[in-house]
Amino acid sequence: VAVYEVGARISAYSRNVLYSWLSVIMPAAAALDASGGNASALRSLYLRGTKYLLLSYCGVAVPLLAFGDHFLNLWVGNRFNQSYAVMALLLLGSGFQNQNVVAHVMLVGIGRLRAFRYVMSAYPVMMALLSWLLIPRWQLAGAAGAVALTMFILETVFQRSILRSFGVASIDLFRGCHRPAALAAMPAALAAAAVRFAVPPV
């Protein structure tokens, strides 16, 4: 439990710091919807908010994925080596989920809860099923993998409803959010890879 908790806590900290500003999204979406359902403004808020969240998350996730094992070794010692796998899987799952998080908040703000309710209800069921399948073979990594895989599956399903709700095409999401985040993360990822190969492990 302690080994899992160490990895999960770092992933949770990264989410909590970045999600603190999302509290302004719900009232903004509600105000836009109440003023006449300005579809264009809601669409713009969704795309801009998602882009900024992905950009921010890349700034946190890339260093953690690149150097998290060294950090954990210095922090808690090499007895917690599995914590890095837990952290990495949860970070990747959260990174994928982040493309929908702004929409989660906005849909609540504008009262479109049907699809959101179904997906959130499916989370514990899917997670329990995948945990039952993965934990016996991969133990702690299996538990984290079950969480991450649940995010991948359900958020992929949910995204279709999100895109319809805001009148956004998949290509618009890619061009407006995914591509800028990937381009912003690439220099940091290449620099981190260079450091990993050039500097011996601590």
pLDDT digits (tens, 9 = 90+) for 13-63: 888 877 878 889 999 999 998 887 688 999 999 999 999 999 999 989 999
* Percent of the chain residues past pLDDT 90, beyond the cut: 72
pLDDT given for residue 34 in this prediction: 87
pLDDT of residue 37: 61
pLDDT for the residue numbered 201:
59
Comparing 20 with 133, the larger pLDDT belongs to 133
Instruction: Give the confidence band of 141 by pLDDT, cuts at 50, 70, 90.
Output: very high
Confidence check: pLDDT of 113 > 70: yes
At 196 the pLDDT is 81
Location of structure tokens 């990495």: 88
Look at phi and psi of residue 167 and say left if phi exceeds 0, alpha if psi is from -120 to 50, else beta: left
**Per-residue exposure over 104-124, b if at least 16 CB sit within 10 Å of its own CB, e if not:** bbbbebbebeebbeebeeeee
pLDDT of residue 21: 81
Which residues lie below 8 Å from residue 54, measured CB to CB, with a gap of 6+? Answer: 95, 98, 99, 177, 178, 180, 181
What's the rounded Cα separation, in Å, for the pair 4 and 159? 29
pTM of the predicted model as reported, rounded to 2 decimal places: 0.92
> Longest C-alpha distance within the chain, in Å?
59
**pLDDT given at position 200:** 64
d(CA 116, CA 105): 10
Closest C-alpha among 201, 101, 196 to residue 155: 101
Residue 123 host element (H or E): helix 114-166
% residues pLDDT > 70 (the chain): 98
Tell me how many degrees the CA angle 170-175-177 measures, rounded to the nearest 5: 90
Task: Calculate the alpha carbon distances from 46 to 3, 29, 38, 137, 170 in Å.
Answer: 37, 9, 12, 39, 13
